[in-house]
A and B are shown apart, each in its own frame.
Chain A
Amino acid sequence: KQEVTQIPAALSVPEGENLVLNCSFTDSAIYNLQWFRQDPGKGLTSLLLIQSSQREQTSGRLNASLDKSSGRSTLYIAASQPGDSATYLCAVVLEGGGNKLTFGTGTQLKVEL
């Protein structure tokens, strides 16, 4: 059974700081890994998708890396802003697993002025 863990559970940083969110998964036979953002009372917004054959993806100030063999992914946020405050979730799709997302428990990020 695939288990996805995210560390830390919560993080508070001052504006402008660079930060790293961690995600680990127990079954390395994944099809892809995604990072989502969830704002209070809202649904999930997809940030970055990394296919199993890729090592990283970048979008603006966000960079996600994937080390499939060690079962780890990181989300790097550069020059954090108060608008980045949200819960960040990683999720994996297993090979042969249809399109089912298995989520971690999330990291709640607060960027303070």
Chain B
Amino acid sequence: EAGVAQSPRYKIIEKRQSVAFWCNPISGHATLYWYQQILGQGPKLLIQFQNNGVVDDSQLPKDRFSAERLKGVDSTLKIQPAKLEDSAVYLCASSFGQKYYGYTFGSGTRLTVV
């Protein structure tokens, strides 16, 4: 079974620039999550999708972050404009359903904002 794919692995941008991350979940997994992990902290949920609908985006900074999951498969997370404090690892995960069936995490995208 192929894992959760994320790209790019690393990204360095200047503050106020925009950036986008891509995630392809495990085939058949209806639920997709984006987590933000700041250095030295545990991951924090940014947004959860069930198919192509948003279940929870309460911790997504909507003035600068946006995410979409068209066709209920892969997803894109965008930051525009980026701030220094957005430097973090962005982890994508997927699970079979909304109630716990088992999470699979991708390797993450490490973003550095300078």
A interface residues (Cβ-Cβ under 8 A, vs B): 4, 31-32, 34, 41-46, 49, 89, 91, 93, 98-106
Contacts and interface: CB of A to CB of B under 8 A. Distances in A.
Contacts of A103: 42-44
A43 B114 CA distance: 24
Interface string B62-102: 00000000000000000000000000000101010111101
The size class of the interface chain B forms with chain A is: 20 to 34
B43 A99 contact: no
A100 B43 contact: no
Interface in B14-43: 31, 33, 35, 40-43
B42 A89 contact: yes
Contact of A101 (B41, B45, B98): B45
